Amino acid sequence: MKHERSQSTENAKQQPSPKRVKDSNGKSVHQGKDDMLKHPTTQRAKEIDADTPMQQLEELLEKTRKDQKTTRNVLHWFRSKDIREDDNRGLHAAAEKAKEGSGSLITMYLFSPKDMEWHGTSAPRSDFILESLRKLKSSLQEKNIPLAIVTAEERGQKTDRVMQFVKDHDVSHVYANIEYEVDELRRDIKVAKHVQDQEGLSFDALHDQTVVKPGTVVTGSGGPMKVFTPYHKAWLAETKDDPSLLDLVPAPKGNDKDALKQFKDLFDSEIPSLPESKQFEGKEDQERIRKLWPAGHDAGIKRVHEFLDRKIGTYAQDRSMPALDPSSRLSPYFSSGIISVREALAITKKWNNNEHFDQGDAGVAAWVREIVFREFYRQVTVITPHTTMNLPQNLKFDNVEWEDDEEGWEKWCKGTTGVPFVDAGMRQLNSEAYMHNRLRMNTSSYLSGNLLLDYRRGERYFAEHLIDWDMSNNTQGWEPSYTIFNPVAQAEKCDPDGDFIRKWVPELKDVKGKAVFSPHERLSKAEFEKLDYPAPHVDYRESAQRAKERYKHDLANADP
Ligand SMILES: Cc1cc2nc3c(=O)[nH]c(=O)nc-3n(C[C@H](O)[C@H](O)[C@H](O)COP(=O)(O)OP(=O)(O)OC[C@H]3O[C@@H](n4cnc5c(N)ncnc54)[C@H](O)[C@@H]3O)c2cc1C
């Protein structure tokens, strides 16, 4: 697959083949030619956290959510995180509002090819989004609801394009679902500022991505929770006390047939094809990925049922065993909002004989715990927005002096580090646009903790290759820390028969027994040389020790 790379404005993610430059803190950092590592100072990060874009948007929405006398056409603005009709809070609110007036419900998707490049969205994810939009458009069309594609060629044109569309189509109410990342919140703030002084125009953005609203799970002293275990407990209690949190909203009923004529231009607007920079290497590659990850809501729901029928029962014990492919593979559907987490949980609850998620089947409890991680990471994004701006949550880690090891970087990307478990994970990613969670943990730990390469480069590489890229899950999965996995012990524990390694690293398919976990150490020189598999790029024990010492030294000197 061919891939583009990049990320956010005040923030930004990184490019391969970077050079060393001074950052805004005067520190030597890697930087790609497109400024992918750009980020605010740690001081600025704290200011952003103190007055978050989410708070700013919520204040503005108080003014833009207007009680208007007349309802004309009502718009739902789809984003890349709510591409569905079912259980879509914003779309449902728009449909209800449209019923109050004599206008129609219309919908729009703002297509920004430069955003796809800036965010480094992978070709598989870009294609998955466009295919899912295509399916959504034809399903809405059957209900006489248009889905228009509005294109902003330049990132700076987004607000103007939306406001022009609103004007051209006599819209009185705009609805959307909130995206929690800084750039997206700032885009909505801009829109809200345009709307607040306009007569006859209202704008509302709803919480839709999670069961529990991010930022609202608080500690005894009233501040938002920042630690997972108590958050998980509180989440379970809250959803038990208030089951309505899991209520679903219906898909819209649709417009009269007249809408077909009135909005012909919108019905005619076509879903764009993949931008030049997001092409697959070939048709076969694209078809293979589409087969692995079929687009659209129905495919997502089918996957929920298959997971419940076949895998959830053993999920609690098998979830860290990648060779068993034990998990739901629903992440792309959740990250693009093809299905709502509430809908998946409602089906799961029914399967669990309507018991709450911590009761009944142990697999359900374990699986829902992962969903709660997703909710928790959104809470973290909302309360510490600097985490979406190329800065670690623990700002002290921004002071780490990372290595320049381009050979190590190349080997990590290709899956030729000489560490079988790490290489297997990277090869799965490069092939399937997906990696099992245990491998994500190990490959990320290896990049920063053994190769001592800037974790942001890896974070960016994941964004550029994953079909399920999700800013909150990815940045927080990549959060640097003192925990460095031993990739051989991890393989022995999580891939005890070596099946996952043998599948993805065919050079090792005939290696017998435990030698598969560390062939260079465990085979004779002659046996190893026959394999055509590289020797380890670094010694994992020594390199982990070196990284810990570096962290200790650089963090002691950090004053963020
Ligand atoms: C370094 C790193 C990077 C990651 N990047 C992403 C990413 O870009 N996008 C992404 O969706 N997940 C990411 N994760 C989390 C996790 O690896 C994936 O969500 C999971 O592997 C997806 O497979 P699944 O749908 O079969 O998961 P299941 O085990 O079936 O879990 C169900 C759902 O729960 C959520 N979930 C599961 N594990 C986690 C987790 N550790 N953190 C947060 N949510 C979780 C996902 O939405 C997932 O679809 C990352 C983890 C790490 C360690």
Q: What is the pLDDT of residues 68-117, one digit of tens each?
A: 889 999 999 999 999 999 999 999 999 999 999 999 999 999 998 888 87
Q: Alpha helices, DSSP H only, in 329-436? A: 331-335, 341-351, 362-383, 406-414, 420-432
Ligand 1 atom closest to the Cα of residue 319 is 29
Cβ-Cβ contacts under 8 Å for 249 (sequence gap 6 or more): 87, 88, 89, 92
Which residue would you say has higher pLDDT here, 363 or 29? 363
In the predicted model, what is the mean pLDDT of residues 43-62? 97
- Ligand 1 site, residue 377, Cβ cutoff 6 A: yes
Ligand 1 atom closest to the Cα of residue 330 is 25
Question: SS3 helix, strand, coil % of the chain, rounded to 5?
Answer: 55, 5, 40
Instruction: Tell me the pLDDT of the chain averaged across its residues.
Output: 93
- Ligand 1 site, residue 456, Cβ cutoff 6 A: no
Ligand 1 atom closest to the Cα of residue 307 is 30
- 3-class secondary-structure state, position 355: coil
| Tokens at 54, concatenated | 């989410």
Q: Are 515 and 507 in contact (CB under 8 A)?
A: no
In the predicted model, what is the mean pLDDT of residues 281-296? 97
C-alpha–C-alpha distance, residues 217 and 237, integer Å: 11
| Tokens at 378, concatenated | 């959104």
CA of residue 331 to ligand 1 center, whole Å: 6
Whole-number pLDDT of residue 275:
87
- Ligand 1 site, residue 418, Cβ cutoff 6 A: no
pLDDT per position as a tens digit, 121-156: 899 999 999 999 999 999 999 999 999 999 998 888
pLDDT per position as a tens digit, 318-354: 999 999 999 999 999 999 999 999 999 999 999 999 9
- 3-class secondary-structure state, position 111: strand
Protein residue closest via CA to atom 37 of ligand 1: 370
pLDDT per position as a tens digit, 206-234: 999 999 999 999 999 999 999 999 999 99
Cβ-Cβ contacts under 8 Å for 53 (sequence gap 6 or more): 182, 185, 186, 189, 385
Whole-number pLDDT of residue 25:
52
Ligand 1 atom closest to the Cα of residue 335 is 11
In the predicted model, what is the mean pLDDT of residues 256-277? 94
Q: Are 421 and 495 in contact (CB under 8 A)?
A: yes
- Ligand 1 site, residue 29, Cβ cutoff 6 A: no
What's the N-to-C CA distance of the chain in angstroms? 39
For residue 28, the 8-state DSSP code is: E
- 3-class secondary-structure state, position 374: helix
- Tokens 């728009």 correspond to 94
Of 228, 370, 459, the one to substitute when testing ligand 1's pocket (max ligand atoms within 8 A of C-beta) is 370
Whole-number pLDDT of residue 11:
45
CA of residue 139 to ligand 1 center, whole Å: 29
Whole-angstrom CA distances from 215 to 45, 47, 54, 210 are 18, 18, 10, 11
- Ligand 1 site, residue 429, Cβ cutoff 6 A: no
Whole-number pLDDT of residue 1:
42
CA of residue 364 to ligand 1 center, whole Å: 16
Protein residue closest via CA to atom 36 of ligand 1: 370
- Ligand 1 site, residue 444, Cβ cutoff 6 A: yes
* pLDDT-above-70 percentage for the chain: 94
C-alpha–C-alpha distance, residues 522 and 432, integer Å: 30
> What are the chain's domains?
47-385 (3.40.50.620), 390-556 (1.10.579.10)
